[in-house]
């Protein structure tokens, strides 16, 4: 070891400063903890907007703002004349004409502020994400591949704003006035796309942030999910039992996402207001077949669209599908958790993975209870919003399991090796 290297290693500096003074040009870029904290904060904001969006839908506030103004829309009406102008615009919508024709200006302000808050939070997420991203990329605090990945999330934030307005427009169409029995509400397809995109944004930010923080800690000499040493990590990851567990966890994570997405169709069709009992539906495990696959929902002459239209447009079928997916998710989570008690798998799994799996099973129990309570009590706003938040929390728990099974990044391994030379 050279004298310069020895002096640098023994100098009382932070690890990043120490390595930067000696071997930084030869080392790959390792994101500092600030990057991980920023991504986790951004994901928290996305978590919040998912919940706020759910409350906006539950309080039927989403159609109160009839225009999309990305810049000037940041400010709400500031004078009585401006409020009256916005109220007049709302009076032209099908929702006012068919459902809210008796509301007062004060009633309108309440639903307006709900939707306005949702939109402003979306703009805040864009600023909080894009600004630091540009800084970290320009200062070379993140690798070029990570910058591209996060840049894609930034573009997705912009696309999410457009998608949100595209969704709102579906509830403002005048054709609703010409459809007998029509209820002014946004398209369940667009609502599901909007919610699904939010989940993708959240998962991308949360997983990347968690991985960045864990990589930094590993580079500083911390254990990896409770396992010490690169050799031991490679042995653990090569275990066939662990690989099977990881594959099952990946599939279960996808199932959690799919179940949450089916909840968007339940919300979009107000399907939670039907069959407010559990586990039966009308006194039996499943409604009659002719109700699940009603001919009334087929639009093509040959009825070839009977199946998929009922699956996505029939409130009874949509609720039944959500029940099936939810219980499949729950029992799959329970089975995966139970598998961690087998001697072979328990010995193979890292300690942090076992803890994460226990947390996921606990969250699955809470989520099932929230879902059943929401149904039995006719979808009250607090319970329904908690149920939507629970879906994000359960997805977070599953993502955490996968992160604990992720091999430390190449940069983190290189920094760890360099710090020990």
Tell me how far apart the alpha carbons of residues 399 and 389 are, in angstroms, rounded to a whole number.
15
Q: What is the per-residue pLDDT for 25? A: 52
Place of tokens 């979306």: 122
Residue pair 55/114 in contact by the 8 Å Cβ criterion: yes
Which stretches of the chain drop beneath a pLDDT of 70?
A: 1-25, 421
Q: Is the dihedral of CA 119, 120, 121, 126 positive or negative?
A: positive
Residues whose CB falls within 8 Å of the CB of residue 257, separated by 6 or more in sequence, listed in order: 196, 199, 203, 395
Specify the pLDDT at position 182.
78
Q: Flag whether the pTM goes above 0.75.
A: yes
- For residue 230, what pLDDT is reported? 84
- Indicate if the alpha-carbon torsion angle 282, 287, 288, 290 is positive or negative: positive
Tokens in use for 216? Answer: 């930094």
Distance of CA 408 to the CA centre of its chain: 24
pLDDT the model gives residue 61: 96
| Rounded distance between C-alpha atoms, residue 360 and residue 353, angstroms | 10
Number of H helices, E strands in the chain: 17, 0
pLDDT value of residue 181: 73
User: Alpha-carbon distance 306 to 297, whole Å?
Assistant: 7
- Residue among 250, 248, 312, 323 at smallest CA distance from 285: 323
- Read off φ and ψ for residue 10, nearest 5 degrees: -95, -5
């Amino acid at each position: 070891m050279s004298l310069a290297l020895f002096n640098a290693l023994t100098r009382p500096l932070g690890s990043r400063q120490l390595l930067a003074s000696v071997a930084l040009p030869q080392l790959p870029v390792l994101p500092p903890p600030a990057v991980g904290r920023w991504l986790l904060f951004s994901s928290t904001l996305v978590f919040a907007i998912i919940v706020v969006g759910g409350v906006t839908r539950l309080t039927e506030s989403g159609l109160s703002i009839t225009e999309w103004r990305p810049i000037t829309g940041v400010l709400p009406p500031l004078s009585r004349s401006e409020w009256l102008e916005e109220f007049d615009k709302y009076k032209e919508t099908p929702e006012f004409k068919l459902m809210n024709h008796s509301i007062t200006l004060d009633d309108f302000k309440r639903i307006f502020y709900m939707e306005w808050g949702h939109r402003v939070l979306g703009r805040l997420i864009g600023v909080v994400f894009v600004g630091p991203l540009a800084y970290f990329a320009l200062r070379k605090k993140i690798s070029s591949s990570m910058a591209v990945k996060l840049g894609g999330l930034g573009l997705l934030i912009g696309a999410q704003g457009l998608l949100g307005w595209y969704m709102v427009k579906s509830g403002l169409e005048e054709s609703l006035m010409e459809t007998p029995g029509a209820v002014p509400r946004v398209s369940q397809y667009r609502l599901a796309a909007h919610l699904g995109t939010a989940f993708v944004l959240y998962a991308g930010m949360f997983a990347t942030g968690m991985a960045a923080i864990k990589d930094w800690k590993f580079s500083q000499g911390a254990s990896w999910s409770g396992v010490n040493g690169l050799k031991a990590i490679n042995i653990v990851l090569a275990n066939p039992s662990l690989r099977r567990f990881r594959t099952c966890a990946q599939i279960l994570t996808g199932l959690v996402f799919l179940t949450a997405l089916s909840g968007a169709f339940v919300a979009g069709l107000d399907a939670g207001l039907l069959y407010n009992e559990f586990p039966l539906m009308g006194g039996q495990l499943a409604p009659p077949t002719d109700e699940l696959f009603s001919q009334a929902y087929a639009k093509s002459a040959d009825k070839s669209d009977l199946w998929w239209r009922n699956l996505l447009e029939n409130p009874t079928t949509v609720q039944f599908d959500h029940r099936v997916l939810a219980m499949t998710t729950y029992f799959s989570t329970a089975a995966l958790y139970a598998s961690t008690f087998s001697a072979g798998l328990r010995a193979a799994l890292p300690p942090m993975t076992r803890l994460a799996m226990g947390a996921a099973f606990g969250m699955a129990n809470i989520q099932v209870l929230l879902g059943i309570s929401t149904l039995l009590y006719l979808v009250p706003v607090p319970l329904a919003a908690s149920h939507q938040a629970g879906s994000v929390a359960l997805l977070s728990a599953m993502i955490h399991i996968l992160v604990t099974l992720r091999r430390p990044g190449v940069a983190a391994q290189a920094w760890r090796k360099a710090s020990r030379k």
